[in-house]
Amino acid sequence: MTQVIVLEDQKKMTIFNVAESCSSIAEALESGDWAPPAENPAHVDMSEMCMLHMPNFVVLLPKDYQWKVHPQEDENLDLSPRQKEVLQALAEGLTTKQIAYKLKISQRTVMAHIQASKERFGTYTRAQTVSRAMSMGLIQPG
């Protein structure tokens, strides 16, 4: 089961689950042979989308997507080392519980690091936050 997140624009996001594997969706998208399920249509031209795929989910966003981040001139968008570790683990497809176990911290602390990262980047979802951190070179694809 793979979760597909389609960011149509700054205000519209469609999320659905498909039975296909992440890698088969990625291959089909690259060849132009994939479209969202009929019961969950996303109103976008798939040829105008770029893709970020991780073990458990795929994020599709417009090639010209503008991140909703409005930093102050003196604001530093860098993350703490622990926030980077948590987002890297998310990029690898780990759950909150698995991240907590791996880093030997509580689940509540994991969620706090994720929330702080979302606030710093001005993102709304874990997927947006991970892709933003990747685009900035702060973490590597899982």
Going from N- to C-terminal start, the domains of the chain cover 2-62, 81-135
Structurally, what CATH architecture does the domain formed by 81-135 represent? Orthogonal Bundle (1.10)
- 54 is written with which tokens? 């991780």
Average pLDDT of the residues of the chain:
80
| pLDDT at 65 > cutoff 70 | no
2-32 in b/e form (b: 16+ CB < 10 A) is bebbbbbeeeebbeeebebebeebbeebeee
Q: What is the mean pLDDT of residues 89-117?
A: 95
Q: Which residue has the higher pLDDT, 120 or 56?
A: 120
Q: Which pLDDT belongs to residue 72?
A: 42
pLDDT band at residue 108, thresholds of 50, 70 and 90?
very high
pLDDT band at residue 85, thresholds of 50, 70 and 90?
very high
Angle between helices 126-135 and 107-121 in degrees, nearest 10: 60
Q: Which residue has the higher pLDDT, 134 or 7?
A: 134
Q: Which residue has the tokens 């498909």?
A: 18
